[in-house]
Copies of this chain bind each other. A is one copy, B any other.
Amino acid sequence: MSIKDAVHNAYSKWMEGTGPDRDVVISSRVRLARNLNNYPFPHFMTKDQAAEVIHAVRTAVSQKEVAEQTGRLEFIDLSELTPIERQILVEKHVVSPQHVSDPANRALVLADDESVSIMVNEEDHLRIQCLLPGFQPEETWHLANRIDDLIEKTLDYSFCEKRGYLTSCPTNVGTGLRVSVMLHLPCLVMTKQVGKIINAMSQVGLAVRGYYGEGTEAYGNLFQVSNQVTMGQTEEEIVKNLLAVTKQIIAQERTARENILKNNRHTLEDRVYRAFGTMSYARMISSGEALNNISNLRLGIELGILNNLTYNQINELIVLTRPAFLMKKAGRSLDPEERDSLRAEVIREKLLKAKAN
C-alpha cells in the first residue's frame, strides 16, 4: 500500500486491536531521535542541507537489506501530500502534528502496515517511530532497534561517548528514546483515581497525559504514559520501568472495573447501551462526544457486554471520526456543523453492521 493509499483507509497495524492486555492497552510506541553528523539540527539547516539529509535517509532506507528485514519502507516528500492527507497521517498516529505543520524540506518513510514510520527533518533529522497494538513496549523497542541498526550502516549518526545520541532538544539527549503506551482507563476516571495516578507517575520519571483533550478531562478516557527522562538510564531500564509501572496501572483499572461491575452492574450496562443507542441513531455528533461514546462502547467490549463489536472496529471509529478523515471522505472542507453531521453518518454506517445483542 502506498502512502497515497494509506490516507484513504482507516487501517494501521496498531488499530488491529490485537496484542497483550488489549482490554486496557490500545497500543505501544517507541520513538528514537537521531541526527546526522556534519549537519546542523533541522531548525538551523539551509534548504540544500535539508535536501542532503533527505537524500541520505532515502538512500539508507532503500537498501535491499532493509526491505528484506523490515518489509518495504516507502519514502515520500511531505509536499507531495495535500494538507488534508497530511492531517490524516496525524489522525492515524503515524506522524506528529509538528511534522506536517510545515511540510517544506520534510519527508516521511512509512512501512506498508504503518507499524514503522520515520519522520525526516522534524525536530531531529530522524525520528524513528514504531507502533504496535496492545501492551508490547519491549517488542516495539526491539523493532525500533532493528530499524535503527539497519539504517545506521549507511548513516553517520551524531553520537558522543559521554552524552550518547545528540538531539535538537536537550530533553532527548542520551538514548533519544521515548517509549509510550496508550491506555483506556474509563473506570479509573469514573472512580476519580486518575488524578492521583498522574501525580504519582512524575515521581517515577513517567508522564501521563490525556491523549485527546487536557489532563484528567481527557475525551474518550484515553491516556498516554511515557518516559520523561532519556539520559542516565539505559534504554533497557527505561523500557522496563515503563513496563513495570504500566502493569500496575492496568491492574488498578481492572480492579476498578470489577468493583463497579460488582456494585453497579446496571449503571455500567446502561452507560454502555446508551452509548450504543446514541451512536446508532444520532444525526449530529461532536468530536468530543464521539470519543466519549467510543470509550463506552470499548468498555462494553472489555467487560463482555457488547459481543458483536470488536476492538478493531472501535479503533477504526476513533480514526474515522476525526476531522481530516471526514473532510477526505466529503472531498471538501467542512464547517464544524457539517462535520458533526457526517461524523454521525459514518458512525451509523459502522455500527449498522454490528448489531447489539
Stretch at the interface among A32-40, A250-258, A270-278: A270-278
A337 at the B interface (CB under 8 A): yes
Is A277 a contact of B281 with CB atoms below 8 Å? yes
Query: In whole angstroms, what is the CA distance A267 to B284 when docked?
Result: 7
Q: How many residues of A contact B (CB 8 A)?
A: 19
Query: In whole angstroms, what is the CA distance A282 to B281 when docked?
Result: 13
Contact A341 to B266, CB < 8 A, known contacts A277-B277, A278-B277: yes
CB-CB under 8 A from A341, the residues of chain B are 266
A148 at the B interface (CB under 8 A): no
A169 at the B interface (CB under 8 A): no
Identify which of B269, B278, B356 contacts A274 (C-beta below 8 A): B278
CB-CB under 8 A from A269, the residues of chain B are 283
A318 at the B interface (CB under 8 A): no
Least CB distance from A307 to B in Å reads: 14
Is A282 a contact of B266 with CB atoms below 8 Å? no
A344 at the B interface (CB under 8 A): yes
A121 at the B interface (CB under 8 A): no
A295 at the B interface (CB under 8 A): no
A280 at the B interface (CB under 8 A): yes
Is B280 a contact of A281 with CB atoms below 8 Å? yes
Is B281 a contact of A273 with CB atoms below 8 Å? yes
Could you give, for residues 283-299 of chain A, a 1 whenever the CB lies within 8 Å of some chain B CB and a 0 otherwise? 11000000000000000
Query: In whole angstroms, what is the CA distance A277 to B274 when docked?
Result: 7
CB-CB under 8 A from A281, the residues of chain B are 273-274, 276-277, 280, 356
What are 23 A-B residue pairs whose CB atoms fall within 8 Å in the complex? A266-B283, A266-B284, A266-B337, A267-B284, A269-B283, A270-B282, A270-B283, A270-B284, A270-B344, A273-B282, A274-B278, A274-B281, A274-B282, A276-B277, A277-B277, A277-B278, A277-B279, A277-B280, A277-B281, A277-B282, A278-B278, A280-B280, A280-B281
Q: Which residues of A contact B (CB under 8 A)?
A: 266-267, 269-270, 273-274, 276-284, 337, 341, 344, 356
Q: For the complex of A and B, list the 6 residue pairs with the smallest distance between their C-beta atoms, beginning with the closest.
A: A277-B281, A277-B277, A270-B283, A273-B281, A270-B284, A269-B283
Contacts A266-B337, A270-B283, A277-B278 aside, 17 further interface pairs with beta carbons under 8 A come to: A266-B283, A266-B284, A267-B284, A270-B282, A273-B282, A274-B278, A274-B281, A274-B282, A274-B283, A276-B277, A276-B281, A277-B279, A277-B281, A278-B278, A280-B280, A280-B281, A281-B356
